[in-house]
């Protein structure tokens, strides 16, 4: 070995030794002794805060600083690349775990959870898998063997896995990938079932980008997820990558509504790859806008109890994929290139310690919530005949959580003027009435009107019923929203 190589090896061993020698308890105490890191600010909100860990981070020029920051700030991490297929199985049946092991061991030494990324993806695949067109049975065998070996290797240690990554296109179709095209669309189900067998205690996710708000892609993911769950396929959560930009921002209402619809399926939610890129040149105004986006994203996420972790795709702009992958963009993270805390860092620290926020919640009405619903039209609205006494049911509504209004959007053509109202009742369709909404004809099916009712009385958690009173008629109800 050359002197130079030995020096690098020695330095890296030295740099990584000190923290490795500590017990989790010691390192936890050390974290608490200094200023609290982000994860401890988030502790009483029951959300883990994390980042990727860079490839061979123990060899970076500033490895000790990197490790110090990472262990101080985070309690969950995702190895950026070194768990990907190409790195783990570079030759058929040859598994190389050394680098990934190092990420996992380091995290374990510091009491930090590891999020496994990723098992089945169309990118970061080895040449051997791509060069010869293997038949379906071979592809299934390769997929199973990879899942068994990798999850088996980290059994009980990596507790969350992105089993399938990026399976859907922007047009809302299943992506044509080597897995999809050679196995068929059931590759997703096969991978998830195999993963459950490989480590029954691991949380299994589908992870994708551009699925944070309601759009064609997230709706396809939603429908796919729903079908998988209905068929009993083991799927525990969704990973929302969230690679964003200051320029594009985020539609926050759509974001909350989208998170809610996935939560309503009984899934846990994971933010897996958050970054907010800036289109160069960087200006103070853009940094401020970035901070405000980070703050608002965190506030929304913290108000959603099903969100289990919020991870960023890095923490310092010095080590980020943005510069190399998106020319003309940079600086999407919370520390700058010189390790200075950015406004975005302050913004998320403030969000983490702020009082829980309440955001108006729009409930897109599911067909089954009507006692006689007879259809859902193309954009998801309910079309139904309303009879006197028909009701919509909302489970587990927290009246204490600050909402005081209920807004309903509807259109109708056939109601008699003056005859109609919606009564808001607690716990049964004939329970205590807490609000009343008069419903007047809107002049047609496509003519919508929003009506708001103030809720008086009622506290704590209840099943809330919206009961329709009046003559028989037909209505088109788009949504009901609880507002502050
Ligand atoms: C990126 C890494 O950050 C880069 O270093 C690598 O060159 C390409 O992959 N979605 C994902 C991640 O699921 O695995 C990608 O990571 C970023 C987009």
Domain ranges of the chain: 27-353, 367-483
Of 80, 166, 189, 257, which one is the catalytic site residue?
Answer: 166
Of 73, 80, 273, 423, which one is the catalytic site residue?
Answer: 273
Higher pLDDT: 385 or 125? It is 125
Q: What number of residues does the chain have?
A: 484
| Ligand 1 contact, 321 CB (< 6 A) | yes
- The C-alpha atoms of residue 116 and residue 104 are separated, in whole angstroms, by 10
Does the fold of domain 367-483 match that of domain 27-353?
no
Quote the ligand 1 centre to 254 CA distance (angstroms): 26
**Whether 73 is catalytic:** no
Q: Is the pLDDT of residue 402 over 50?
A: no
* Degrees to nearest 5, angle at CA 483 with 480 and 484: 165
- The C-alpha atoms of residue 382 and residue 362 are separated, in whole angstroms, by 15
**Whether 484 is catalytic:** no
pLDDT range class, residue 175, cuts 50, 70, 90: very high
CATH of domain 27-353: 3.20.20.80
Q: Can you give the pTM of this predicted structure?
A: 0.77
| Ligand 1 contact, 240 CB (< 6 A) | no
Give the per-residue pLDDT at 26.
Answer: 45
Cα–Cα nearest to 152, from 195, 182, 113, 122: 195
- The C-alpha atoms of residue 406 and residue 455 are separated, in whole angstroms, by 7
- The C-alpha atoms of residue 348 and residue 312 are separated, in whole angstroms, by 12
Does domain 367-483 match CATH 2.160.20.60? no
- The C-alpha atoms of residue 364 and residue 257 are separated, in whole angstroms, by 8
Residue nearest (by alpha carbon) to ligand 1 atom 7: 321
CA of 165, closest atom in ligand 1: 13
Quote the ligand 1 centre to 84 CA distance (angstroms): 10
> Which stretch of 115-119, 167-171, 332-336, 439-443 has the lowest confidence by average pLDDT?
439-443
Probe residue for ligand 1, chosen from 80, 119, 272, 317 as the CB with the greatest number of ligand atoms within 8 Å: 80
Q: What is the pLDDT of residues 130-172, one digit of tens each?
A: 987 899 999 999 999 999 999 999 999 999 999 999 999 999 9
Residue 11 CB contacts under 8 Å (≥ 6 apart), including other chains = none
Q: What is the pLDDT of residues 77-134, one digit of tens each?
A: 999 999 999 999 999 999 999 999 999 999 999 999 999 999 999 999 999 999 878 9
Quote the ligand 1 centre to 215 CA distance (angstroms): 23
| Ligand 1 contact, 165 CB (< 6 A) | yes
């Amino acid at each position: 070995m050359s002197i130079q190589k030995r020096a690098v090896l020695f330095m890296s061993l030295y740099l990584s030794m000190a923290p490795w020698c500590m017990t989790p308890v010691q390192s936890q105490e050390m974290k608490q002794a200094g200023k609290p890191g982000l994860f401890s600010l988030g502790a009483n909100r029951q959300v883990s805060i994390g980042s990727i860990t860079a490839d061979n981070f123990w060899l970076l020029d500033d490895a000790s600083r990197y490790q110090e920051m990472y262990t101080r700030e985070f309690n969950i991490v995702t190895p950026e690349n070194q768990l990907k297929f190409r790195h783990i199985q570079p030759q058929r049946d040859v598994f190389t775990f050394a680098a990934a092991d190092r990420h996992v061991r380091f995290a374990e030494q510091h009491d930090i959870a590891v999020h496994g990324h990723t098992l089945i993806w169309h990118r970061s695949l080895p040449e051997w898998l791509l060069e010869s067109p293997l038949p379906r049975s071979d592809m299934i065998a390769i997929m199973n063997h990879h899942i068994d070996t990798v999850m088996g290797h980290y059994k009980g240690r990596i507790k969350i896995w992105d089993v399938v990554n990026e399976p859907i296109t922007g047009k809302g179709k299943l992506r044509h990938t080597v897995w999809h095209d050679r196995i068929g669309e059931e590759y997703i189900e096969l991978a998830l079932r195999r993963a459950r067998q490989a480590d029954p205690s691991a949380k299994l996710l589908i992870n994708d980008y551009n699925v944070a708000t309601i759009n064609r892609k997230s709706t396809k993911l939603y429908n796919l997820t729903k079908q998988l769950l209905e068929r009993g396929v083991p799927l525990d959560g969704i990973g929302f990558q969230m690679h964003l930009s200051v320029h594009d921002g985020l539609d926050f209402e759509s974001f909350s509504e989208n998170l809610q619809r996935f939560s309503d399926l009984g899934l846990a939610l994971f933010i897996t790859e958050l970054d907010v890129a800036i289109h160069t040149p960087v200006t103070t105004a853009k940094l401020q806008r970035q901070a405000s986006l980070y703050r608002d994203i965190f506030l929304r996420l913290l108000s959603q109890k099903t969100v289990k972790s919020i991870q960023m795709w890095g923490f310092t702009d010095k080590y980020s994929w943005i510069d190399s992958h998106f020319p003309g963009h940079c600086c999407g993270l919370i520390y700058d290139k010189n390790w200075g805390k950015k406004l975005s860092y302050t913004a998320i620290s403030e969000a983490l310690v702020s009082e829980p926020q309440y955001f108006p919640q729009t409930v897109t009405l599911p067909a089954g919530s009507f006692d006689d619903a007879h259809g859902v039209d193309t954009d998801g609205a309910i079309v139904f005949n309303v009879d006197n006494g028909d009701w919509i049911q909302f489970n587990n509504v927290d009246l204490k959580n600050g909402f005081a209004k209920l807004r309903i959007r509807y259109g109708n053509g056939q109601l008699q003027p003056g005859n109609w109202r919606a009564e808001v009742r607690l716990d049964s369709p004939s329970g205590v009435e807490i609000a009343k909404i008069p419903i007047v004809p809107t002049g047609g099916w496509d003519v919508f009107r929003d009506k708001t009712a103030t809720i008086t009385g009622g506290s704590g958690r209840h099943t809330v019923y919206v009961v329709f009173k009046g003559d028989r008629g037909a209505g088109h109800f788009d949504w009901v929203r609880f507002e502050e």
